[in-house]
Amino acid sequence: MKLLRRVTNLPSELRSGAVAIGNFDGVHLGHARIVARTIKKARELGGAALAFTFDPHPVRILRPAEAPPPLTWTDRKAELLAALGIDAVIAYPTDEELLSLSPEEFFERIVRTQLDARAMVEGPNFYFGHDRRGTIEVLGQLTGAAGISLDVVEPLIAGGEIVSSSRVRRLLGEGRVDEARSLLTEPYRIRGMVVHGAGRGVKLGFGTANLDAIDTLLPGPGVYAGRGFVDNTRWPAAVNIGPNPTFDEHSLKVEIHLVGWNGAPLYGQPLEVDFLGRLRNIQRFAGLNELKTQLHKDITATRSAFDEFERSGE
């Protein structure tokens, strides 16, 4: 799978295929349905299947105060799309010039000239061009006139509600990572840099990696079972998001305990963590013994969730 940042001089093997344009934030099951149809169309045409996305999300430029925190960073998004079988991901740099293009200009410049697409696959709520004036109806007119096929994929319904990035974002914000995971193609993942903390975890026998500079949505406060990645090795990870009321600390922290890890501290290194399930709420403990007892329970539950997930082969 190729990750490209521009479409000028696009390699010939990536032209004249099928393309899906969208933000693909989180890469959920609804996106997977669109990708599957794009791959099918591309194979029928004997061309490549492309996912064309924007970096950053247009709202971050147009209305930064209203921009929701992203669910995925660009490289992770490309990994998830590649896992679905897409041939190339184009993360097009979003700037004022791009956003000023009319629907007709965007279609002519990007779809016809630079991609030379022969098929497009979109959802019914697709918008493009300046002020989102390009609707799926407008796209239908443009593709029809250009002799490009257009497949409109209906939204996926799960639990009586459309699967969408905003729905996933809401569930994560409420700490309902299990439900969010059921709507995503892979468990929800965050990344951050390991920084120095108070050092209290080591003294208690439960050393933690404190994460900072997290650039995607953080799940709501709670204790979670997860999976951490260090040098391409997977570790059970007990994740604590929130304050530490037992020690009268009220600032939000993200602390990761890698179960079984006995290597050197990871200060200054990046760390990625998947969320496999929620264990409990943040709570105040009467003393250190009660806290330690609960931490042992959290670690046991984390190991169990990790082992179950690994056995499942998801």
pLDDT at 199: 66
For the stretch 241-247, contacts whose Cβ atoms lie closer than 8 Å and that sit 24 or more positions apart, written own/partner, are 241/282, 242/282, 243/282, 245/282, 245/283, 245/284, 246/284, 246/285, 246/291, 247/200
pLDDT at 1: 75
pLDDT at 105: 98
The token duo for 262 is 């006995």
With cut-offs at 50, 70 and 90, classify the pLDDT of residue 136: very high
Residue 22 class from Cβ within 10 Å (0-12 exposed, 13-18 middle, 19+ buried)? buried
Which of the 8 DSSP states describes residue 111? Answer: I
Global pTM reads 0.94
The token duo for 231 is 């040098």
Which of the 8 DSSP states describes residue 260? Answer: T
With cut-offs at 50, 70 and 90, classify the pLDDT of residue 159: very high
Residue 203 has pLDDT above 70, yes or no: no
pLDDT at 201: 65
- Among 76, 74, 79, which Cα is nearest to 53's? 74
Instruction: Quote the CA–CA distance of 87 and 91 in Å, as a whole number.
Output: 13
In the block, tokens 């050092």 appear at 199
Q: Which residues pair with 280 in a beta bridge?
A: 223
Contact at 8 Å (CB) between 297 and 225?
A: no
Query: Which domains, ranges and CATH numbers included, belong to the chain?
Result: 2-158 (3.40.50.620), 187-312 (2.40.30.30)
pLDDT tens-digit series, residues 252-279: 999 999 999 988 889 999 999 999 999 9
pLDDT at 138: 98
Least confident of 41-45, 203-207, 268-272, 289-293: 203-207
| 201 Cβ contact partners less than 8 Å away, ≥ 6 residues apart | 207, 208, 255, 257
pLDDT at 104: 98
The token duo for 252 is 């939000």
pLDDT at 44: 97
- Among 237, 156, 129, which Cα is nearest to 189's? 237
